Amino acid sequence: GFFLNCCRLPCGLVEFEKKDKKPKKSTWKFNLDLTHPVEDGIFDSGNFEQFLREKVKVNGKTGNLGNVVHIERFKNKIIVVSEKQFSKRYLKYLTKKYLKKNNLRDWLRVVASDKETYELRYFQISQDEDESESED
C-alpha cells in the first residue's frame, strides 16, 4: 500500500502542473535570429531594432508601443514580447519590409525555424536543398 501511495503522488503533481500551464497565453513572444547576416556585416541589428520600434503598430498606430510591446536586442537576436495578440506573420512582414528598404531582399529570406522564431537565411543557389517554408 505504501509504495502505491508514493507512486501516486508525483503523478498527481505532474498532472496538476500540466493543467496549470495552459491558460497563460497572455503574452506573445517571438524571436528573430539575425546571426548570419550580422556576422557577415551586411545587417545592422541596432538599426533594425530601431526600425521595428518605429513601425510596429499597436491599436493601428505606430509609435504606440507603450508597455504593450517590448522589443529588445540580445546579441544577434531581436526578441519581441507583446501583451496583446501579436501575429508572428506581422513580424515577418516587417522584416521583409526592412530588407527591401535596405536592398537585402535579394540575398536574405525570412524562414521560420520553429513556432516562435524566424531567422534570416541566405538563399540557397541550388533548388533541391531548398527547405519548405512552414507558414501558420
pTM over 0.75: no
Where along the chain do its domains lie?
28-122
CATH class as words, domain 28-122 = alpha beta
Q: Has residue 19 got a pLDDT over 80?
A: no
CA angle 49, 50, 53 (to 5 degrees): 90
pLDDT tens track for 61-119: 999 999 999 999 999 999 999 999 999 999 999 999 999 999 999 999 999 999 999 99
- Can you give the pLDDT at residue 50? 97
pLDDT tens track for 46-77: 999 999 999 999 999 999 999 999 999 999 99
- 29 touches 80 (CB < 8 A): yes
